[in-house]
Amino acid sequence: MKRKGHLFFSTFLGIIAGITLTLGLGAYQVVSAAPNYAQLDVFTKVLHFVQTNYVEEVDSKKLIEGAIKGMLATLDPHTVYLPAEQFKEMQVDTSGKFGGLGIEISINEGYLTVVTPIEDTPAFTAGVEPGDKILIIEDKAKKIKKETKGMTLQEAVNLMRGEKGTKVTIHIARKGADKLLPIEIKRDIIKVVAIKGGMIEPDYAWLRITNFQANTGRDLRKKIEQLSKENGKPLQGAVLDLRANPGGLLEEAVNVSGLFLDKQLPVVSTMGRNKAKKEVEFARGENPYKNFRLVVLVNEASASASEIVAGALQDHKRAIIVGKPTFGKGSVQTVIDLENQAGLKLTVARYYTPSGKSIQSKGIVPDIEVDRLDTALIDKARKGKYLREADLEGHLINELGEASNKEDSSEDPTKVTKGEKGDKEDKDKRPIREKDGKKVRVDDPKEFIKTDFQLQQALSYLKAWNIFEAVSDQARAVKSASAK
């Protein structure tokens, strides 16, 4: 147990122990409370009256745990009490393998809300989308059907998790839908691959971080080295895709940032109740990839650790941030082991970017905002282009015999090709293929960039950055030569 956690709970558990002793004596006594805990005498009275006068026998442990949960429910949604079973489950979440549906959830305006489905999980392939509000959780096999209003995050997680192969139905409210949508999902072992990537075209790579789990920084470096070998020379640039990344381990956010920042540059700072006590995390690596350009893609479901990375790279002018404003989860949680094998996830501070900007509820604002658009509609709109010389009947051929840039207009612009129809219902623009009877995403960036408008724009900005940098270098060289 960490010393900080132990010191925090020594006083609290002492109070609980005092209450237990009083109840054990079978006689009501007023607990002598410190000034900061003056209301505890009211709590002990209520607890005593319930235990001795309620119409049925009550479980004291259940009452105490319920009181703790109620106390924490008055704070932010990320501060929760974790009973022993839930605490054990939480400890394996960051290992990259756990059971369930594959949904990252939060509480937004009182509603259980999907931050993002984790890529290539049961929830992802079933069509759960960021922003969906889960109003009812139903497990027909266990004859459970509960509304989620007032439910804690951990209670919801406990209901949705279960043995591999069993089913659960979530009833969601989705923007644009006129009624609740029931989605039945078969539970599975969730194995999260944190790093994906590939070459978009020569010299330019797509690097995808799905979440920040153990060894994410190390695995990202391996992926970059692999792609550099595939390219035959060092990369000129990369798109770092953090869209729908729910976050994870702070240490790995620092490790990832350190791949692109000089050693000892600040990555993130945290500040708790004591404003005079500010802790700063610095880049620890040697910045092995300082020589290639970086564009970071984010969206409304990029949260926590992904916001730390985007904020650090933005503040240090190391990357251009493209996409939509991020989720805004800028609070720090520490997990404390309790003596009863339970745990407490407690919000202890806020995150700040190197320039001192708070991430909480604001998120990271992109340098260039790009909406997620339907590329099929964009292509259709492009058909209505201006008339050019090459479009005129009988136009002169270029004297060098070069072919004109006339586009083939024989294709019916109203025709919807396979895959475009699905784009209107599927926010993830990567192509879907069948594999072993399951829907899977195609992770070859050469393929899905054709329909991913945000990635198309990110690549354009990346290449333009290199072009302008080359022009600037030439201008500086000319100026230096003329000065001599």
Residue pLDDT, tens place only, 347-395? 999 999 999 999 999 999 999 999 988 766 666 666 665 666 776 777 6
Write down the mean pLDDT value for the chain.
80
Query: Of the listed 304, 331, 429, 452, which one is catalytic?
Result: 304
444 is catalytic: no
* Mean predicted confidence (pLDDT) in 242-257: 93
- Vertex 388: Cα angle to 382 and 393 (nearest 5): 115
pLDDT at residue number 171: 96
Query: Of the listed 133, 329, 345, 429, which one is catalytic?
Result: 329
329 is catalytic: yes
The answer to whether residues 270 and 352 touch, using CB atoms and an 8 Å cutoff, is yes
Handedness of CA 30, 39, 332, 98 (dihedral sign): positive
Asked whether the predicted pLDDT for residue 143 surpasses 80, the reply is yes
pLDDT at residue number 68: 93
Provide the pLDDT confidence category of residue 15 given band limits of 50, 70 and 90: very low
Phi first, then psi, for residue 377 (nearest 5°) are -70, -35
Span 319-341, pLDDT tens digits = 999 999 999 999 988 889 998 88
Q: How many helices (H) and strands (E) would you count in the chain?
A: 13, 21
**Inter-residue long-range contacts of 438-446, CB under 8 Å, 24+ positions, other chains counted:** 438/125, 439/125, 440/120, 440/125, 441/119, 441/120, 443/196, 443/198, 443/208, 444/198, 445/197, 445/198, 445/199, 445/200, 445/205, 445/206, 446/198, 446/199, 446/200, 446/201
pLDDT at residue number 29: 37
pLDDT at residue number 1: 40
User: Which of residues 371 and 413 earns the better pLDDT score?
Assistant: 371
Provide the pLDDT confidence category of residue 26 given band limits of 50, 70 and 90: very low
* Mean predicted confidence (pLDDT) in 157-178: 90
Span 286-331, pLDDT tens digits = 889 988 899 999 999 999 999 999 999 999 999 999 999 999 999 9
The span from the CA of 210 to the CA of 416, in Å, is 31
Asked whether the predicted pLDDT for residue 163 surpasses 90, the reply is no
Asked whether the predicted pLDDT for residue 72 surpasses 80, the reply is yes
pLDDT at residue number 14: 26
The answer to whether residues 92 and 98 touch, using CB atoms and an 8 Å cutoff, is yes
Asked whether the predicted pLDDT for residue 477 surpasses 80, the reply is no
* Mean predicted confidence (pLDDT) in 234-246: 94
Asked whether the predicted pLDDT for residue 270 surpasses 90, the reply is yes
Query: Of the listed 120, 188, 241, 315, which one is catalytic?
Result: 315
Question: What percentage of residues in the chain have a pLDDT greater than 90?
Answer: 50
Predicted model pTM: 0.67
Asked whether the predicted pLDDT for residue 210 surpasses 60, the reply is yes
Mean pLDDT check: name the lowest of 29-33, 470-474, 477-481.
29-33
Asked whether the predicted pLDDT for residue 268 surpasses 50, the reply is yes
Backbone torsion region of residue 248, taken as left when φ is above 0, otherwise alpha when ψ lies between -120 and 50, otherwise beta: left
Asked whether the predicted pLDDT for residue 421 surpasses 60, the reply is no
Widest distance between CA atoms in the chain = 107
The span from the CA of 261 to the CA of 312, in Å, is 9
User: Which of residues 47 and 480 earns the better pLDDT score?
Assistant: 47
